[in-house]
Amino acid sequence: MSLKNRNLVTIDDLSNGEIEAVFSLTDEMSELMDKQSAVCRGKIMASLFFEPSTRTRLSFEAAMHRLGGSVITAVDGGTTSLAKGESLADMARVIGSYADIIVIRHPWEGAAKIFADYAGVPVINAGDGGHEHPTQTLCDLYTLLKERQTIEGLNIALFGDLENGRTIHSLTYALARFGANIGFPSNAGRELPEYVKRKLTVEYRGQFKKYKDLPPAIQKRLFPLDAVYITPSSPHQLAMMPEININIEIKLKAMKAGVDALYVNRRQLERLSSIAEGEGLKEDYPVIDKKFLKGKEYKEALVMHPLPRVDELAYELDDDPKSMYFKQAARGVPIRMALLTLLLGEKEISIPAKEDLSVPKRDYPLYRHDFGFIDHNSKCVSQLDTEKRYIKPEFKIVSKEPLTLSCVYCEHEIHPQYIASSDPHHEKSLDSRKYHSANTYWVRNIKPENLIIFDTEDSAKENGFKPSYYAGASRDRNDPGKVSKEQ
């Protein structure tokens, strides 16, 4: 079996079995670190970093060199200029004609998907805004696996900025898929985004539970934790380039570190994880240091961090054999060697025969109509002027009640308030060219391929639709007869 010409845009682009095959090749690659291999001789990797980065970029480039391949690099610290320039699609097509594989980091969420759609060669996402960073997740998973032999059933606590940490998003999906339990502290303002939570619960069939609501027997089984994972207290994009202004005010505002969000994986309903219950309230960002780790729940915990650190991880832990962060970084090279080799088709893989733990991908119906501007995430690549020239909005309809659409580029979700049908003849009971509240039973009656959505009534009217009897939001969604019309 081959991964040739596959992309790695989100961690879900690899099945659990495929991830294990990558790790198996990683073990081989680790042996080769001292002598250059010729596995990728004659191949060119384009390393395109439109956000400051040193670590990830150099790790990929070192990996390609160790494989005997060549590298062409473009680094751009500015982001605003991109809007004035060419589209990602054009850039992807041109660079795709120069190189055999592309690694891209970009500040816009979904940018890596555009590249994958247009480049004609394999594309690896090295971070697209606040969306995903799947190769960091591979480093994290591989480290856990090397230290604990398995991911299934591990109790992992995640600290830090869970809202904007793209490494966290990719990681939670992977941990969930491999059957780990994940603990999240309740940090107001930095919680996991809703769309990540939905994916964890609906797609990976997990549950979120408060620690204190768990039966004592289960509480007990959660400790000691296998690992704590903390993200930087300020974005490392500041590390190398001075020009970027990121609003870090939001990120640094006071947070409560007390635990009340618990993610319970679908396969391990009996095993729940919790962290820092006893931590009480804390101003500002958590700091992992020797004192913090004295709690008995941490006595066997690996300390993990995607690096670079700022203040949230004390230097006094560096010599502790349970500190994994430099190992996570160092393992990035053989992991990326394995990945490049496989996507370039220079080696075949054999998927381990044992049951694949990953949740099969759902085939949601797609929403592609372009009625009015669908404003869902100002950092989404589909919202940008340069890209709108060729991208049509595209959403997965992931839920009908409440009506929920997930952008295929950035995965942010919207909950449109008004709906209509593009084909009233197939849905006789609907008036032609009328719009309805999304909060009525009619949402079930419109076929996905005919669905039209609007943010506001004004938007619906501008597109030539009139309010139906069911345009009021308060109508009973199960019984259209029971209506007390608003106005």
Using CB under 8 A as the criterion, which residues of the chain lie in contact with its own copies when the complex forms?
Answer: 34-36, 41-44, 46, 54-55, 57-59, 61-62, 65-66, 70-76, 78-82, 84-86, 89-91, 93-95, 97-99, 234, 236, 238-243, 307-311, 315, 318, 326, 329-330, 332-333, 389-390
Judged by beta carbon, residue 308 or residue 472, the one nearer its own copies is: 308
d(Cα 57, Cα 63) in Å, to the nearest integer?
10
Pair 341, 67: CB distance under 8 Å:
yes
As measured in angstroms, the least distance from the Cβ of 161 to its own copies is 16
As measured in angstroms, the least distance from the Cβ of 148 to its own copies is 21
Beta partners for 405?
Answer: 397, 414
Beta partners for 71?
Answer: 45
As measured in angstroms, the least distance from the Cβ of 78 to its own copies is 3
Judged by beta carbon, residue 91 or residue 453, the one nearer its own copies is: 91
User: CB neighbours of 131 closer than 8 A, spacing ≥ 6?
Assistant: 10, 109, 110, 112, 166, 169, 410, 411
Pair 288, 317: CB distance under 8 Å:
yes
As measured in angstroms, the least distance from the Cβ of 390 to its own copies is 4
Judged by beta carbon, residue 124 or residue 276, the one nearer its own copies is: 124
Pair 132, 169: CB distance under 8 Å:
yes
d(Cα 174, Cα 288) in Å, to the nearest integer?
24
As measured in angstroms, the least distance from the Cβ of 461 to its own copies is 30
> Length of the chain, please?
487
Judged by beta carbon, residue 66 or residue 199, the one nearer its own copies is: 66
d(Cα 219, Cα 213) in Å, to the nearest integer?
9
Judged by beta carbon, residue 108 or residue 263, the one nearer its own copies is: 108
As measured in angstroms, the least distance from the Cβ of 284 to its own copies is 17
Tokens at residue 297, please? 């729940």
As measured in angstroms, the least distance from the Cβ of 402 to its own copies is 35
As measured in angstroms, the least distance from the Cβ of 77 to its own copies is 8
Judged by beta carbon, residue 57 or residue 190, the one nearer its own copies is: 57
The four Cα atoms 125, 127, 202, 7 give a dihedral, to 10 degrees, of 0
d(Cα 18, Cα 3) in Å, to the nearest integer?
8
Pair 172, 263: CB distance under 8 Å:
yes
Pair 460, 378: CB distance under 8 Å:
no
Judged by beta carbon, residue 245 or residue 484, the one nearer its own copies is: 245
Pair 19, 140: CB distance under 8 Å:
no
Judged by beta carbon, residue 17 or residue 160, the one nearer its own copies is: 160
Pair 327, 142: CB distance under 8 Å:
no
Q: Are β-strands 155-159 and 227-230 bridged in parallel, bridged antiparallel, or unpaired?
A: parallel
Judged by beta carbon, residue 42 or residue 481, the one nearer its own copies is: 42
Tokens at residue 152, please? 């299934």
As measured in angstroms, the least distance from the Cβ of 233 to its own copies is 11
